[in-house]
Structure 1
């Protein structure tokens, strides 16, 4: 169900913020997990 034209920009801004947060959390988790599995790949 698409948002109404009036609050379209607000919905888009909120959705982009949610996606950005999810991507940031996923990136941090992925980096931490990779560091635990292969710490030698990263410089001290």
Structure 2
């Protein structure tokens, strides 16, 4: 399955709380199960 994950935070790039950790861990777990995952997150600081 192809999955797109969209998050306002993504560890280690932008992290203010637990969301960044989940936004990183969940797609990794889905990839280990054989799914194709793309993560979309804002580019802060420009």
TM over 0.5: no
Structure 2 length normalisation: TM-score?
0.38
Structure 1 length normalisation: TM-score?
0.39
> Which structure would you say has the larger Rg?
1
Higher normalized helix content (fraction of residues): 1
* Structure with more relative contact order (C-alpha pairs < 8 Å, separation 6 or more): 2
